[in-house]
A and B are shown apart, each in its own frame.
Chain A
Amino acid sequence: MSNIPADLRFAESHEWARLEADGSVTVGISDHAQQALGDVVFVELAEVGKVFAAGDAAGVVESVKAASDIYAPVAGEVIAVNEELADSPELLNEEPYESWIFKLKPSNPAELDKLLDAAGYAAAIGE
């Protein structure tokens, strides 16, 4: 079983997304994802200013086991990346919902509604 906060939205590819008060969307990976990946040892961050469509590869998380793409859960422009992960990638294991990976300025905030809610994500991962 993994932790699935009720206030977040989730992509089937295991990213979480949170709509902030300023209209930006913060993105990370779920507790289930970090458990499946195992020890994270490297995070390749997107560049600020990059524009992604929903579902585009927007970074890479490498665990000891394998490299996994991180996908933009909604379309938008990257306005910030979490540089702390460069030196401390293990934060993704330790605090998956505190350790955001990037923030997007969404091109269409309504896309967030297409993502799974906590119950939908729990069902998607069989919990």
Chain B
Amino acid sequence: MGQRTLLYDLHLALGAKTVDFGGWDMPLHYGSQVEEHHQVRSDCGVFDVSHMTVIDVEGSDATAWLQRLLANDVARLDDIGKALYSPLLQEQGTVIDDLIVYRTETGYRLVTNAATRARVLDWLAAQRAGFAVDFRVRPDLAILAIQGPHAREKVAALLSPARAALIRELRPFEGIAEGDWFIARTGYTGEDGLEIILPGEQAVAFFNDLVGAGIAPSGLGARDTLRLEAGMNLYGQDIDETHTPLTSNLGWSIAWEPAERNFIGRTGLLAEIENGVQEKLVGLVLEERGVLRAHQVVRVAGIGEGEITSGSFSPTLSKSIALARVPMATGDRAEVEIRGKWYPVRVVKPTFVRHGKILI
């Protein structure tokens, strides 16, 4: 038996088929993951993502510490409520985890992955020496992601006037505390939506309210195809401790300026650039019938080989798509081996769908 969120019994009551994810028993789907996917793209759905780790950071050196720890720069968070995405790197520049950091009234709030929890907490503890900083894991909190074009209006209709007003005012990538709730306009689906972090003991009632309001309970299966269509990396598949942001389509998340900010991994990344970045993470589209899967081999004529890191069927495109790490010189065509046969694929920028629109 894996770890369970506070909503586990409710998921079962709602008909969830569960799956192990990073040591957690989580809903895979509640009947049809393709249906749930379409619901989120066209209307909205709710995901229990309480398996992720919430870490609150406080102390007079909190900013300096996170500027040292993160490839992106928390100094860019020029106001309470602003959020940014950042990789957390080793010295050589490879990725320990990816996270969202919110600036709060008392410091910062990090949301990190479930499967990396122990590794991240060990890393944070090891890097704390010399900084006046404290961090606290918050297992007392639940996280619900309500995602889709109608997510904000449907959630606002269920909440107090103060919370509804906040939801209407929030801009993308902002998160603000309201009472004992933390409401953020962030997500992992490529759609508008919210991530609400709330006391665990309120989570079952709120999840029930959402489902009662016609918001489809949605599992990690749909979450995976939604994030893949949105071109968002999944830690452990597309990024890991053997690859850097430069070979993971995450160069944009490295804040190089100011040049004197000596974040962990900077030296390693500069060395990689100096030697020439050898690979890149791209999108693949299979025009024929079939399904691209992680670890299938990608062949680029005259250039070399690569590997699919995430692949699935795209419900929005009705064809298979993938993320793949391929040689830097790869152009717009490649081939993928599926069960001993080679299939031609199109190489594209790895954002397939955003805000309900097909981009490829």
Enumerate chain A interface residues (CB-CB to B < 8 A): 38-39, 41-42, 44, 60, 62, 64-67, 86, 93
Contacts and interface: CB of A to CB of B under 8 A. Distances in A.
B54 to A, nearest CB: 29
Nearest to A60: B339
14 contacts: A38-B28, A38-B29, A38-B32, A39-B32, A41-B34, A41-B320, A42-B289, A42-B290, A42-B313, A62-B313, A64-B221, A65-B28, A65-B33, A93-B32
- Secondary structure at the B interface, as helix, strand, loop or mixed, is mixed
B312 A64 contact: yes
Contacts of A62: 290-291, 313
B33 A67 contact: no
Interface string B24-57: 0000110011100000000000000000000000
A67 B320 CA distance: 13
Given A38-B28, A38-B221, A42-B313, A64 B33 contact: yes
Contacts of B82: none
A44 B320 CA distance: 14
B313 A64 contact: yes
A86 B289 contact: yes
B12 to A, nearest CB: 15
Given A42-B320, A44-B339, 17 more contacts: A38-B17, A38-B28, A38-B29, A38-B32, A38-B221, A39-B32, A39-B33, A39-B34, A41-B291, A41-B313, A44-B290, A62-B290, A64-B33, A64-B313, A64-B315, A65-B33, A67-B293
A97 to B, nearest CB: 19
B189 interface: no
B249 interface: no
B72 interface: no
B218 interface: no
